[in-house]
């Protein structure tokens, strides 16, 4: 079995641990990335190893019982990996290009209105979850949606453009209970270039 061990890895961050300061401190990013994200990767690997063993033994009860751990930790790994790529140092901040801005204005009236709506929905998440800006292939519109815990967009015909982590571990060290303050600050480090590249591939 040892050769069949699953080994998803913690992906490299596209910047240094202190690069997102002051919005996300070095300490906060270090804990978030090397402890929280790492734990999801480890637990995903563990659950998948057990799943493979159960599959070999044709133990469907065990396979079904492992689904929840795979979904939770796998979603945590997928969402965090995407989240890191949605951010960049404040010094590199850019605004959406004219083309992207036109799309945003069509669906939200203005960039400020998009941010306001996004933050309102993210603030309102009860408990832990994620807030997304996504493209809906069925309606051809941009949408803001939220998922609870580590829910992903996979099943919804939605193509993710931006994600923000709204778990308390994402902000508590610096912002304590003020989730809204964290969400206000996060826009300073949103990587609009990356969002634009994703949108152009649609
Ligand atoms: Mn997190």
Domains, the chain? 26-85 (1.10.287.990), 90-200 (3.55.40.20)
**Tens of pLDDT along 117-158?**
999 999 999 999 999 999 999 999 999 999 999 999 986 789
Q: Residue 202: pLDDT above 60?
A: yes
**Tens of pLDDT along 25-62?**
999 999 999 999 999 999 999 999 999 999 999 999 99
**Residue 30 CA, ligand 1 centroid: distance in Å:** 11
**Residue 47 CA, ligand 1 centroid: distance in Å:** 19
**Residue 149 CA, ligand 1 centroid: distance in Å:** 10
d(CA 155, CA 157): 6
Determine the angle formed by the axes of helices 111-123 and 98-108, rounding to 10 degrees: 60
Q: How far from chain centre, in Å, is Cα 87?
A: 10
Task: Record the tokens describing residue 64, joined without a space.
Answer: 């079904």
The DSSP output letter for 95 is P
- Per 3-state DSSP, what percentage of the chain is helix, strand, and coil (rounded to 5)? 60, 15, 30
Give this prediction's pTM: 0.95
């Amino acid at each position: 079995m040892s050769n069949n061990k699953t080994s998803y890895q913690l992906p490299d961050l596209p910047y240094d641990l202190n690069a997102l300061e002051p919005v996300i401190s070095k300490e906060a990013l270090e804990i978030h990335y090397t402890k929280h994200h790492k734990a999801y990767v480890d637990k995903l690997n563990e659950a998948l190893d057990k799943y493979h063993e159960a599959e070999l033994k044709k133990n469907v009860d065990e396979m079904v019982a492992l689904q929840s751990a795979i979904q939770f930790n796998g979603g945590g790994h997928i969402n965090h990996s995407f989240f890191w790529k949605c951010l960049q140092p404040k010094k590199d901040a850019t605004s959406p290009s004219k083309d992207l801005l036109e799309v945003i204005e069509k669906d939200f009236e203005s960039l400020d209105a998009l941010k306001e709506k996004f933050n309102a929905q993210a603030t309102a998440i009860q408990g832990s979850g994620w807030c997304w800006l996504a493209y809906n292939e069925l309606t051809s519109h941009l949408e803001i949606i939220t998922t609870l815990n580590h829910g992903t967009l996979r099943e919804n015909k939605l193509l993710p453009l931006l994600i923000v982590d709204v778990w308390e571990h994402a902000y508590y060290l610096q912002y304590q209970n003020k989730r809204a303050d964290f969400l206000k600050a996060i826009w300073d480090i949103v990587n609009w270039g990356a969002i634009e590249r994703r949108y152009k591939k649609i």
